[in-house]
Amino acid sequence: MMDAKAVAPTKLHFDSRGIADNALNSRSLNFLLGSIALITLPHAGHIPPPIFGFFAILLIWRLAGVWYRHWLPNRWLLFLLTILGIVLLIAQHRGVFGRDAGTALFVVALGLKLMEIHSKRDVFLIVYLAFIVAASQFLYEQSILMAGYILLVCAVLLATLITQNATHVQTQAALKTSATIMLQALPMAMVIFVLFPRLEAPRWMWLADDNKALSGLSDVLEPGSISDLSLSDELVFRVRFDGNVPPPVLRYWRGPVYANTDGVHWTKDSNHNQPTQPVDFSGDAFHYTLLMEPQKQNWVFGMDMPESFDTSLHRNDTFQLLSNKRPADRAEYKIVSRPAYNTGPISPTDYRRNLQLPAAATDKQQALVNKLRGFDGRPEQFIQNLLNYFREEKFYYTLSPPLMPDNPIDTFLFETRSGFCSHYATAFVYLLRIAKIPARVVGGYQGGEFNKVGGFLEVRQADAHAWAEVWLENKGWVRFDPTAAIAPERVERGVNVDLQVASGAVNFGPLINESAALNWLKRSRQLWQSIDYNWQRWVINYNGANQMQFLQALGIDGIAALAKWLVGSLIIVTLPLAWWLLKQPKKPADKTLLIYRRFCNKLAKTGAAIRPGEGAKDFAERAKKQCPEMAAQIDQITALFIRLRYQSDARDGDLQRLKTLVGGLVVKKVI
């Protein structure tokens, strides 16, 4: 009796040429299911856990069905599983449009289709679905590592198709063939990528993805909001300067301006979209290209103060740069900034807005402002006295200040005297407003680590910073950073992101005496960041505008010229490939298949011709009914053919024996 774990022989079908059409075996199915697992694994963090768990159960269930075929669901159970999948999709997503909903739909469809593999057609459909699921990964991440991974799993999927079309091909040979095909297609793919017109999605197709978690500065500044960011090494943007890199003390990357306060929270005014008045610039100009990472807001952090910028940017009346590009995509901008500027006079509305206070000053606040000559001295003198006060009165700079939920200004100034940049900036501005000096808080980033390998700056969330702006007569808005009075090394040396994130404490600048191992690790990381930066710039960010600029540099200025370049380039890359393919020696025909075809042709003379899609065993049963006198010979020949063609227990003499049996088969022609 056969073991319960044994797999029943899979039905074999042949077309009119005698070539296997629907051959499915456990090796091919295992290879296919392994490919599917690799394809869907990266989506574990993208789609809801119940949906991914549902898919994982279906995949494991189908894998068990390779050995225990009776475990596979019947059509009624499969119908119930389909209903369950639909219910999960509806429960986890409020709509049917968008990246997350679409990806979840394809993953569920792929899992359900795995449960009904009956023929090669089903395998092909599954593979095509898997290619879609693989491509959807680029909607979440476009790093070079992910591109390499997707290329690998696509090679595995292609190898799956190869094994299904030629079941005698071993896994290693199929993978080699798959890699060869992909390498042959690479030159053509590169030509099409560079020259084929790129279409940008219209704004109405920018589907919102509510589940996308992106950290960063927000519209509200409150105690602790920036100190939380200072423990994140998440990349915000990278900057490549055309000339000299400005020193750290000039690297203030301007973001939102917070003018309104309730005493605890500082908020960004929503009416700051109108253009600014002209700014009087002077001094050195810094030209740079800024590559923004995906973010929640359409903010672009130009170095203070942007003078000129791309047409896709505009500057509001708080001098913040805003982009009309989709913020969830990486985008590149060319900007020119000058650190020396004069913003000119202030409007009556801005004057009132930047003196706003939630309540009258407390006695302690009044006394401090009076002590520092805020009521009777020049604004510049009061500002200097206030900075000296922070510097001399034992204030401390820390990432983990005590909680100040009720009255953070008084608690910080007169009790704890320890805080992060947001505490110093907000207290500084608050005291200036008490003295009737217009002031506001500016959020953004300060510093950035220079990548010596790639020659660009990397600005991370740990570089998040807050400073103050004060309006002074004949000078306009002037930047003051009270943090520099407490911890000047924060501005002069910048943040040591690695140590700060690892230790959870303030760390500034590079280590003076780095070990050889640390220096090697740092250089290795910078090398990788340089590779990733160029990948993002020249591959991921190769959009329609960049393509147009590149084509114009080649002298391609019209559709006709572009068509000539495209056709000519494709001919250049395909001719050598066609020559190489045509000169390849033809592989010898499968002797087993040739002998079996001879057997089928002999039986056809008796009137028992093999039908398209008919299996070897089915054909043998029908032929024995047509020629009962040859039943034993037909059984012997069929068994030998199946063993040689599809099983691994063939003996050395089986091929010769098959040839002898077919050669000795004598048939009578039907008249």
DSSP code string of 620-646: HHHHHHH-GGGHHHHHHHHHHHHHHHH
Q: Which two tokens stand for residue 658?
A: 């098959």
Catalytic annotation present for 627: no
Evaluate whether 18 touches 600 at the Cβ level (below 8 Å).
Answer: yes
Between CA 420 and CA 187 the distance in angstroms is 53
Catalytic annotation present for 219: no
Annotated catalytic residue: which of 310, 350, 421, 423? 421
Element (H, E) at 545: helix 544-553
Q: Which two tokens stand for residue 38?
A: 């690799």
The single-letter code of the amino acid at 114 is L
Cis bond upstream, residue 188 (ω within 30):
no
Between CA 273 and CA 320 the distance in angstroms is 9
Q: Which two tokens stand for residue 664?
A: 């000795």
DSSP code string of 398-463: -SSPPP--S-HHHHIIIII-EE-HHHHHHHHHHHHHHTT--EEEEEEEE--EEETTTTEEEEEGGG
Task: Give the chain's largest Cα–Cα span.
Answer: 126
Sheet containing strand 266-268, strands side by side? 220-221, 266-268, 252-261, 439-446, 464-472, 476-480
- Sequence-ordered list of residues with C-beta below 8 angstroms from that of 450, at least 6 positions apart, any chain: 245, 456, 457, 458
Between CA 271 and CA 218 the distance in angstroms is 16
Between CA 246 and CA 285 the distance in angstroms is 10
Between CA 296 and CA 328 the distance in angstroms is 7
Evaluate whether 445 touches 255 at the Cβ level (below 8 Å).
Answer: yes
Sheet containing strand 449-451, strands side by side? 306-309, 331-337, 286-292, 235-241, 456-460, 449-451
Residues 209/215/216/222 CA torsion (nearest 10 deg): 110
Q: Which two tokens stand for residue 505?
A: 């404490």
Closest to 645 measured CA to CA, from 653, 636, 655, 635: 655
Annotated catalytic residue: which of 481, 498, 600, 627? 481
Between CA 70 and CA 7 the distance in angstroms is 10
Closest to 464 measured CA to CA, from 259, 217, 297, 223: 217
Between CA 540 and CA 147 the distance in angstroms is 11
Write out the E strands in 474-588: 476-480
Evaluate whether 308 touches 256 at the Cβ level (below 8 Å).
Answer: no
Annotated catalytic residue: which of 43, 46, 272, 465? 465
Evaluate whether 295 touches 330 at the Cβ level (below 8 Å).
Answer: no
φ, ψ of residue 394 to 5 degrees: the values are 60, 50
Query: Please, what's the b/e burial string for 468-483 (b: 16 or more CB within 10 A of its CB; e: otherwise)?
Result: bbbbbeeebbbebbbb
Q: How far apart are the first and last CA of the chain?
A: 45
Evaluate whether 337 touches 254 at the Cβ level (below 8 Å).
Answer: no
What are the catalytic residues? 421, 465, 481
